[in-house]
Amino acid sequence: MTESERIADQLRRAFAGEAWHGDALLRLLRDVNTKAAAKRPIKSAHSIWELVMHIAVWDEAVLRRMRGEIVRVPAQKNFPRVKDASEAAWREALAYMKRTHTELVKAVAAFPDSRLHEQVAGKSQKHHNFYYMFQGVAQHELYHAGQIALLKKAQGLAGSR
């Protein structure tokens, strides 16, 4: 197994399951309905829906950076507001996150190990190479999964630890 394949496996585990820490992101979202996704049980926190979109936006940003693009995510896309709180829109948000993440895992698994220490385009910090970015996106998803678990708990949803 290559290093890129190992990183891709960690991304997959954090997102879809078999993670060392406990419930992966998709398991946490399994029982979240539209109303719960849009709700703000903590007024100063983002909603579950906003976090789902935020995760997808950053997975997409990493994919674009892998293609050599310089990516800066504007504030309105970083945590996009929910404008359509319909069941169909929630299903589409989840589908978008899953599609983007699946594409990211495949791209990271195929990424040449010889390029892991190359600088990411547009990043001035010496340490911001692909290895750092790939590890960071896994950490990012786990961080937000923890927030989602707390938001579920604040709403009294089943399955929150």
Closest residue by Cα to residue 142 from 32, 46, 23, 36: 23
Residue 152, pLDDT score: 96
Q: How far is CA 29 from CA 54, 65, 97, 133, in A?
A: 14, 27, 11, 25
Residues 53 and 98: their CA atoms lie apart, in Å, by 11
What share of the chain has pLDDT > 90, as a percent? Answer: 88
Residues 18 and 12: their CA atoms lie apart, in Å, by 9
Q: pLDDT-derived band of residue 128, with 50, 70 and 90 as boundaries?
A: very high
pLDDT at 160 over 80: no
What share of the chain has pLDDT > 70, as a percent? Answer: 98
Residue 61, pLDDT score: 97
> Domain spanning 3-155: which CATH class is it, in words?
mainly alpha
- 71 with 61: CB under 8 angstroms? yes
**Average predicted confidence (pLDDT) for the chain:** 94
Q: How far is CA 84 from CA 48, 58, 150, in A?
A: 14, 21, 24
For the segment 18-73, what is each residue's pLDDT rounded down to a tens digit?
Answer: 877 778 999 999 999 999 999 999 999 999 999 999 999 999 999 999 999 999 99
Domain limits of the chain? 3-155
Residue 158, pLDDT score: 65
Question: For the chain, what percentages of helix, strand and coil (3-state, to nearest 5) are there?
Answer: 60, 0, 35
Enumerate the β-bridge partners of residue 129.
119
- 108 with 64: CB under 8 angstroms? no
pLDDT at 17 over 90: no
> What average pLDDT does range 136-142 have in this prediction?
94
